[in-house]
Every structure is written in C-alpha cells, then in structure tokens.
C-alpha cells in the first residue's frame, strides 16, 4: 500500500536570517536543519525555509494555511507590527470569499504569498 508520512514544501528566502526572524515572530517554531535550511512548524504543519532565492520563483510561490480563526491571526500580525518591522512584507485584511472561507493575504520578506484562511461553514 502506498502512503505518505509527511509533505513539506520548500519556501525560498532572499535574506535567510531576516526570513527566519519573520517566521519565528509570526509564531512558527524553528528547527535548524543546516546552514542553509530550517524547518518551521506550527503544530503538525511544517515547511522548509531555504537560503535560496530566484525572483521568478519567489514571486510565484503561494502557500495556503488553514487555521481555526483567520481574523485572530490578522489581529496578531497587526499587533506585532510585522509590516513595519519587515521590509517588503504586506497583507490584505480578512474577507469572506464565495468559496466559503474567510481569507487574508500575507507576503513574506522574500515575496512569497500566503493565503491564511478558515472555513466559514
């Protein structure tokens, strides 16, 4: 029988140390895997941040994170003043989408786009 034990996407970084600080401040737990690779986890969910940058890849890299309360996440980000503290970061406030999720967008320091959402039904 075929199964999968884990799936971890790779996420690029232009400034590895800056991106590591950003994701730690956001609330992820960091585990260094090597000089150019770190695993970031939140509960059972994880991704691998790498010290590798290609503009075309970073600006077309999109991640979707399903959470229990997207509006609470947005308040957390605003309280931390992440957009003021990390150059290049930005976001759009949560809104209800027709496909039954409440979602906001977050762009990390490298240009990676995150859609952070919770189901609305």
Mean pLDDT of 100-115: 98
pLDDT score recorded for residue 1: 82
Task: Parse the chain into domains and list their residue ranges.
Answer: 10-119
pTM above the 0.75 mark? yes
78: phi then psi, degrees, rounded to nearest 5:
-65, -40
Q: Dihedral of the CA atoms 21, 68, 95, 10 (nearest 10)?
A: 40
Average pLDDT, the chain: 97
Report the SS3 class of residue 99: coil
- pLDDT at position 87 is 93
Average pLDDT over residues 84-110: 97
Q: How many angstroms separate the CA atoms of 29 and 100, rounded?
A: 29
- For 22-77, the pLDDT digits (tens) are 999 999 999 999 999 999 999 999 999 999 999 999 999 999 999 999 999 999 99
Domain 10-119, architecture per CATH: Roll (3.10)
- What pLDDT is attached to residue 14? 96
pLDDT at 101: 98
In the chain the beta strands, taken as DSSP E runs, fall at 10-11, 29-34, 37-42, 45-50, 62-66, 90-97, 101-107, 113-119
Query: Average of pLDDT values for 9-33?
Result: 97
**H-helix segments, the chain:** 16-26, 55-58, 70-80, 82-85
């Amino acid at each position: 029988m075929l199964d999968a034990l884990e799936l971890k996407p790779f996420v690029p970084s232009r400034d590895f140390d800056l991106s590591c600080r950003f994701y730690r401040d956001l609330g992820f737990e960091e585990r260094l895997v090597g000089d150019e690779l770190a695993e970031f986890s939140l509960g059972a969910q994880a991704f691998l941040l790498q010290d590798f940058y290609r503009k075309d890849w970073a600006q077309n890299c999109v991640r979707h994170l399903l959470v229990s309360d997207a509006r609470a996440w947005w308040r957390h980000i605003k309280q931390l003043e992440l957009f003021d503290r990390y150059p290049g970061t930005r976001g759009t406030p949560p809104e209800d989408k027709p496909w039954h999720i409440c979602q906001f967008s977050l762009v990390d320091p490298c240009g990676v786009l995150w859609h952070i959402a919770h189901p609305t039904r």
